[in-house]
Amino acid sequence: MKYEVLKRYFGYDSFREGQEKLVDSILSGRDTLGIMPTGAGKSLCFQVPALCMSGITLVISPLISLMKDQVSSLIQVGVRAAYLNSSLTWGQYLKALYNAGQGMYKIIYVAPERLETKEFLSFAKRADISMVTVDEAHCVSQWGHDFRPGYLKIREFIDELPKRPVISAFTATATGEVRSDIVNILRLKEPTVVITGFDRKNLFFGVEKPKNKNAELVRLIGERREKSGIVYCATRKNVEAVCELLLDKGFSAVKYHAGMADDERSTAQDDFLFDRSRVMVATNAFGMGIDKSNVSYVIHYNMPKNLENYYQEAGRAGRDGSPAECILLYSRADIMLNKFLIDNSGNDDEDIEAQAAARKQDIKRLYKIQDYCETTGCLRRFILGYFGERTAHDCNNCSNCKKTFKEVDITEYVIKILSCIKETGQRFGVSTVCDILKGKSKNRNIEKYDLQGLRTYSALKELSEHNLRDIVTLLENSGYIRRVGDEYPTLSVTKDGERLFYEDKRLKMKVADDAVIGAKKKSHPVSDNDGDAGLFELLKKKRASLATQQGVPAFVIFSDATLRQMASLMPQTKEELLTVSGVGYVKSEKYGRDFLRIINEYKKNK
């Protein structure tokens, strides 16, 4: 039955990696936890079994936009679905609850805060609930990057039900600590845990360190003017400024942040989803669960606070499997900005010790993403390693793998850096140590402690600030020095670092070749095969027309990947159309005639 449901409603002949194991686990009645990267098809893992089971499936979801998109997509393929959240009027909410009580819906999306209301609990106690699915399950963990207190109420809600349904939970990014929290807090019983791997092979990862972020951003978006993309900024102020910049340069852009009115945010989101605006400039308030399949690039104007945030936000590109780019514009000023945001993110009602522990964890994760931005190694390997997935090979699809590097002997510089740290009594952090070595007398600590007389003062004035800090980062990553303390971390020489003073060991570092640094910057996405480009454009126009008529985003009708396959295979009949991935029986009946007519006319006139 699962294969019939998969094909009939979703248009696929087979499951992707990990999907079938998760579906089978749920259908066998076992609690289930799926960790799958964005775009890997998490929704199918609970929607397919939901349609195979006898009762109702409740999907607990954190965002209104996510629910709307998921329900719209399900209705498009002929599934009776609804959502219950604050976007409904009280009358609409009661009507939806009444319909649910009459068995009208097979899948119901609900915000976690609704679980506590007496009206919803009354319905749930009477309903035949086969499964409760917790989407974006990392929100349950205070160590996760999107903690949501309402998620802590889920297990109390389940305890109120007359019979315990199957519990399934899904998320895209979760460290071992967060995975453990999900199992314990939701009280999953001997769950099947499937981690499909975090790699998104269709994504190109790039880190750039431009002298002028605005100029670089304009260049990047100018090269992608006809594509849909997201620009993430760390603050509302930056969102406002960047959006204004892009509009002044003639780009079709909208903005989204928590300081905007609800109707403004809703309009901006719809303009982006319906392709009326090409670029969304936003804080991390935008995006979780946004199922827009044709996002071709995600650019981070500021470095996020941690790799979990970055990978989830970057993963909103290329959701349909098409090649896409994830580019981070990095500057060291981002580190201070994020420290400020971390210091001001606490809740006054929180326990002081809990706040301190959370801050320590946040700072630790901040240094990890800083390392990501400054590494000369494969970016994909770095990300996968962070999530516990080891790979022996470089990806050849990131900015570091595409660069030409040369090895430089840095032994002389290393000894001077280590000597400076020791000469200052290991009392200062990176900035002061670098300023001493560069001979910057205006540093407050240098003036206060009269450090101009040190032997190492001005010892590396010939090195650029950038190269000096790169060497310090390499020493830390290699275990020769370490940071001590959380609030204002100082540098300390380790035992391995001490050995470098008397061992005859040469240290080398990879630096980008000058020829490459001076060359015109260019992104390197995976080759994109649109099939017949002319036909692909005609199919996109038809899709846009149908989407406008029905008032739904274009990707809800067919994804770009599905249209590309149509343009490549050029099916002539409904039977042949059904062989296209993403075309199920319902959509074939609903749209098949329109798209087949375009394909047949195109072939005839070609």
pLDDT in tens, 504-557: 889 988 777 643 323 344 444 544 555 688 899 999 999 989 988 888 888 889
Residue with the two structure tokens 């929290």: 181
Taking the CA atoms of 520, 332, 251 and 530 in sequence, report the sign of the dihedral they define. positive
In the prediction, which pLDDT does 483 show? 87
CA dist 583 and 573 (Å) reads: 13
CA dist 316 and 326 (Å) reads: 9
On whether the pTM is more than 0.85, the answer is no
Q: Is the pLDDT of residue 425 over 90?
A: yes
| Burial of 333: CB neighbours in 10 Å, binned 0-12, 13-18, 19+ | exposed
Amino acid at 415: I
What SS3 state is found at 105?
A: coil
Cα 144 versus chain centre, distance: 13
Question: 482: pLDDT confidence band, cut at 50, 70 and 90?
Answer: very high
Rounded mean pLDDT of 152-179?
89
In the prediction, which pLDDT does 238 show? 96
What SS3 state is found at 297?
A: strand
Q: What is the DSSP string of 35-59?
A: E--TTS-HHHHHHHHHHHSSSEEEE
Task: Please name which of 439, 504, 457, 500 lies closest in space to residue 475, comparing C-alpha atoms.
Answer: 500
Residue with the two structure tokens 């086969």: 130
Higher pLDDT, 477 or 21: 21
Task: Please name which of 297, 284, 281, 296 lies closest in space to residue 247, comparing C-alpha atoms.
Answer: 281
What SS3 state is found at 182?
A: helix
**Which pLDDT tens digit goes with each residue over 375-413?**
888 999 999 888 888 887 889 999 999 887 788 899 999
Task: Please name which of 237, 236, 220 lies closest in space to residue 299, comparing C-alpha atoms.
Answer: 220
Q: Is the pLDDT of residue 66 over 80?
A: no
The strand ranges marked E within 370-458 are: 405-409
CA distances from 452 to 335, 492, 493 (A): 27, 20, 21
In the prediction, which pLDDT does 143 show? 64
Contact 285, 257 (CB under 8 A): yes
CB atoms within 10 A of CB 212: 10
CA dist 531 and 533 (Å) reads: 6
Contact 141, 178 (CB under 8 A): yes
Contact 143, 176 (CB under 8 A): no
In the prediction, which pLDDT does 465 show? 82
**Which pLDDT tens digit goes with each residue over 109-160?**
999 988 988 999 999 999 999 999 999 898 888 765 567 888 888 999 999 9
Mean pLDDT of the chain: 88
Task: Please name which of 145, 302, 96 lies closest in space to residue 217, comparing C-alpha atoms.
Answer: 302
Q: Is the pLDDT of residue 22 over 80?
A: yes
Task: Please name which of 115, 60, 64 lies closest in space to residue 85, comparing C-alpha atoms.
Answer: 64
What SS3 state is found at 327?
A: strand
Question: 196: pLDDT confidence band, cut at 50, 70 and 90?
Answer: confident
Q: At what angle do helices 411-423 and 430-438 cross, to 10 degrees?
A: 110
Residue with the two structure tokens 């980008």: 512
Rounded mean pLDDT of 56-84?
88
In the prediction, which pLDDT does 360 show? 83
CA dist 40 and 198 (Å) reads: 9
In the prediction, which pLDDT does 50 show? 96
| Exposure string for 581-595, b = 16+ CB within 10 A, e = fewer | bbbbbbbbebbbeeb
Taking the CA atoms of 479, 482, 486 and 487 in sequence, report the sign of the dihedral they define. negative
Q: Is the pLDDT of residue 207 over 50?
A: yes
CA dist 454 and 171 (Å) reads: 52
The segment with the largest mean pLDDT, out of 215-229, 430-444, 541-555, is 215-229
**Which pLDDT tens digit goes with each residue over 271-324?**
998 899 999 999 988 876 567 888 999 999 999 999 988 998 998 999 888 899
Task: Please name which of 223, 210, 297, 235 lies closest in space to residue 255, comparing C-alpha atoms.
Answer: 235
In the prediction, which pLDDT does 514 show? 44
261: which residues sit within 8 A by CB, 6+ positions away?
Answer: none
Rounded mean pLDDT of 464-471?
84
CA dist 260 and 105 (Å) reads: 34
530: which residues sit within 8 A by CB, 6+ positions away?
Answer: 536, 564, 567
